[in-house]
Amino acid sequence: MAAVCMAKLGAQLFVLFLCLTIHAGMLQFAAASIQGYFGDIDMTCPSVCRCDEDFIYCNDRGLSSIPSLPPSASVLYLQNNHINNPGLPTSLERHLSVRVVYLYDNELDEFPMHLPPSVRELHLQDNNIRTIPRTTLGRMPLLEKLHLDDNSISTVSIEDQAFADNPRLRLLFLSRNHLSSIPSGLPASLEELRLDDNRISTIPTHAFRGLNSLRCLVLDGNLLANQRIADDTFSRLSNLTELSLVRNSLQTPPVNLPSAHLQRLSLQDNALTHMPRGSLDGMHRLQRLDLSGNNLTTLPRGLFKDLDSLGQLLVRGNPWHCGCNLRWLYDWLRARGNTITVRGLTCHGPDRVRDLALIDLGSEMEECEVVRLTGTKDKGAVGGVESSTTNAPPQGSLFTLRSKRPGFGFPDSGLDYTLSSSGVGKSLALNVKPLSHNSIRVTWSAAQPSSSFRLSWLRQGTGNAMESITETLVRGDRQEYLLTSLQPRSSYIICMVPLAVSSESKATVSGDADSDEALVCAKAETSDPSTSEEEEDEDSHHITSLPLAGIIGGATATVSLALIFGIFCWYGHRTGHLCSRDHYTRSSSRKSKTYDDYIESGTKKDNTILEIRGPGFQMTPMPACPPMQPKPLREDYIIHTIFPSNGTGLYKGSNHVSNAGHGTNRGYREGGIPDIDYCYT
């Protein structure tokens, strides 16, 4: 009995254990299903985008905001949309797997916030970003590449030490903005810096201080001249491998170029007239030299003595004079052979070698006496021209600018400021006048000509003043400028400085030791929009009333002339001299001759009964014409034939009275009895 009870108890325990096991498995399966379901929801790609694993393609979708993204997204393609700053959700900060963000060609007017701190590469070109705040950049400490090309960033809109919290930043693109000087506080980790197509005119001594890692520097398309580049500006860039100074106003290469690691040097499209001997010394690693588009006629002997690695020499667009002065270059090129590629070394003179390549002037160069002593002139120049070396224009060493972030002082309102005579020795008078609620006219006059003017304006407000400063460059031949799209009912401080470049040996720079330029400032206030609209309405009313008055006056004059002409014609008609109905022309079957109505009938005009005695006819006034004819303009008569007593007619069939109005003739029978009576005018 006890054994049976134990067996039943064991069976019950087994069943209970089996049930618990099955229940635990079901719970685990349910939990896994729920987790997988929610995981699938989190990984769902936005409906307006296309996803390829962790690459999210939301570009060219016309988006105004960023949609919800899966947590695994690492590369976001959001370019070519209409995304503005409010379209950046705060939830974007929680996507810690995002490494690359493409936000170029959108509608951002401020540096975007709420970006993930894990971002390493950020593309913001082709927007309207005006400022670079330090706080926003500080939220991305891992940032390595920052593209800010084609925006509206000025030097004064970059906060002090804006890049201090980005120790890993290696690439910074600020091309095609409104920079007037080199930004200060650049990180020491920077390896590539592009500042091309800005308005940079001055580079002080300490502009690149601390950038020992910089390898590529692009300053194309600025306003750089030799006198405004400090002597040791580029010498501090010891690791620089590429330097581009294309499309500036250089007359010679900048002095003290870094030579240890430089591999590419671009100086095309400047105003180079001379290459000083020794300007390329020590550049043993230089591989590419571009001197195209300048005004070089010769090169000094020994200029290329250290260019052992040079593989490309581009010199097209220069008026080369291929005399004995270039015999050394001819020998150097022949010695290098196929190890170097030369483009554009074509002779411009003398005439007998024009349009020939220097390397092809074998017989001409053999005529030259080769002198290998340094400092001795070449004799027997081709074409009888003796080679010479011109002195280089002044380069650097004229001033030393302190590295200071440019800023504006707020002048007192209502005063005129004139540039002091110290420095450049020029004066500038500035005048501003509001034209409407959103525009101000700026006029100025300079005592001496200037190559260009830098115009800056600042809107005073309660916010950060740096965000409202805008700069532009004005040509030197202009004397006025119109500021538009301004804020109504706002105060603006407008400043201007002439940017003069002197070619004399003792050039000067406007300003003092504490600032780069001395500013001339004035203050103006925009008006209220309602007042401006009323004035514009009055002006437009006056303007539009002028042609309307002219039209009314012309119509009145036309009507008056027509009325006077009608009265004159009526008077002439009454007198029987001017009205066209007083004369008529016979039909084409007869000779073209004008007759008078009454002279032809042998009578005089009279309203009474006219009666011809004897055979003839009589005229009596007709009271009215038949109803189908219009009201006559003249007096109407009925002509009745008067038959003589002998029964013969007065007129025969060959003699018919012509009527010009109806084009018909009255017919008669043999007996002279008329067929019908006609009404004539």
Q: What is the pLDDT of residues 405-455, one digit of tens each?
A: 344 444 443 444 333 333 344 567 888 888 887 888 888 888 777 777 778
Which of 449, 481, 499 corresponds to the end of one domain? Answer: 499
The first and second tokens of residue 86, run together, are: 């409010």
Domain range for residue 447?
426-461+468-499
Q: What total number of domains does the chain contain?
A: 2
Q: Is 617 helix (H, G, I), strand (E, B) or coil?
A: strand
Which tokens belong to 150? 């084609």
Pick from 235, 195, 244: which is nearest to 211 by CA? Answer: 235
Q: Please, are residues 105 and 129 in contact by the beta-carbon 8 Å criterion?
A: no
- Which of 160, 179, 199 is a domain's end point? 199
The answer as to whether 308 is a domain residue is no
The pLDDT of residue 526 is above 80? yes
Mean pLDDT of 188-212: 93
Beta pairing partners, 495: 456, 521
Q: How far is CA 235 from CA 194, 252, 270, 433, in A?
A: 18, 16, 21, 46
Give the CATH number for residue 89.
Answer: 3.80.10.10
Contact (CB, 8 A) for 71 and 51: no
Lowest mean pLDDT among 134-148, 479-493, 525-539, 649-663: 649-663
- Helix (H) / strand (E) element for 597: namely helix 597-601
Is-contact 141 116, C-beta < 8 A? no
Closest CA relative to residue 156, chosen from 524, 523, 508, 519: 519
Note the pLDDT of residue 29: 60
CB of 680 closer than 8 Å to CB of 659: yes
The token duo for 523 is 């203050």
Q: Under a CB-based contact definition with an 8 Å cutoff, are residues 157 and 181 in contact?
A: no
In a domain, 445, yes or no: yes
What is residue 56's three-state secondary structure?
strand
Residue 295 domain-assigned? Answer: no
Residue 191: the pLDDT is 95
* pLDDT for res 621: 54
Token pair of 407 as six digits: 């800023």
Smallest Cα–Cα separation from 392: which of 303, 310, 318, 314?
303
Which 3 state secondary structure label does DSSP give 242? Answer: strand
Q: What is the pLDDT of residue 518?
A: 55
Mean pLDDT of 266-279: 93
pLDDT above 70 as % of the chain: 65
Beta bridge partners of 640: 618
Instruction: Kindly state whether residue 60 falls inside one of the protein's structural domains.
Output: yes
In a domain, 521, yes or no: no
Specify if 536 maps to a domain: no
Percentages of the chain per state (helix, strand, coil), in multiples of 5: 20, 20, 60
Q: What is the 3-state secondary structure (H, E, C) of 286-355?
A: CCEEECCCCCCCCCCCCCCCCCCCCCEEECCCCCEECCHHHHHHHHHHHHHHHHCEEECCEEEECHHHCC
**Average pLDDT, integer, range 258-262:** 91
Whole-number pLDDT of residue 645: 47
Cis, peptide link before residue 350, omega less than 30° from 0:
yes
Span 135-161, mean pLDDT? Answer: 93
Measured between alpha carbons, how far is 58 from 79 in angstroms, rounded to an integer?
Answer: 8
Residue-wise pLDDT tens digits, 613-650: 445 445 555 554 444 444 444 555 555 545 454 444 44
Which one is predicted more confidently, 391 or 362?
Answer: 362
Q: Which range, of 226-235, 292-301, 343-352, 577-586, averages the lowest pLDDT? A: 577-586
List own/partner pairs for 187-195 with CB under 8 A and 24 or more apart. Answer: 187/163, 188/212, 188/213, 189/213, 190/214, 191/215, 191/216, 192/216, 193/217, 193/218, 194/149, 194/218, 195/219, 195/222
φ, ψ for residue 664, nearest 5 deg: -125, 160
More confidently predicted of 380 and 309: 309
- pLDDT given at position 28: 67
| Residue predicted with more confidence, 513 or 225 | 225
Q: Residue 76 pLDDT > 90, yes or no?
A: yes
Q: pLDDT tens for residues 569-586?
A: 887 777 654 444 444 343
- Residue 652, pLDDT > 70, answer no
Top pLDDT among 339 and 646 is at 339
pLDDT tens readout for residues 221-232? 999 999 999 988
Calculate mean pLDDT across residues 236-263: 93
Type of residue found at 130:
R
Decide if 569 is inside a domain: no
Question: Is the Cβ–Cβ distance between 530 and 494 less than 8 Å?
Answer: no
Cβ(237)–Cβ(244) below 8 Å: no
- Matching residue, tokens 């690439």: 171
- Inside any domain, residue 173: yes
Span 596-606, average pLDDT: 43
Find tokens 């974007």 and name the residue.
92
pTM for the structure as a whole: 0.53
Pull the structure tokens for residue 362.
């074998």
Residue pLDDT, tens place only, 117-128:
999 999 999 999
- Taking the C-alpha atoms of residue 242 and residue 214, their distance in angstroms, rounded to an integer, is 9
Is the confidence at residue 197, as pLDDT, over 60? yes
Residue 660 has pLDDT above 60, yes or no: no
Which among 16-30, 171-185, 510-524 has the top mean pLDDT? Answer: 171-185
* Statement: residue 180 has pLDDT above 70: yes
Q: Which of 156, 172, 199 is the last residue of a domain?
A: 199
Q: State yes or no: pLDDT of 385 exceeds 70.
A: no
What CATH number does residue 438 fall under?
A: 2.60.40.10
Our CA angle for 14, 20, 23, nearest 5°, is 140
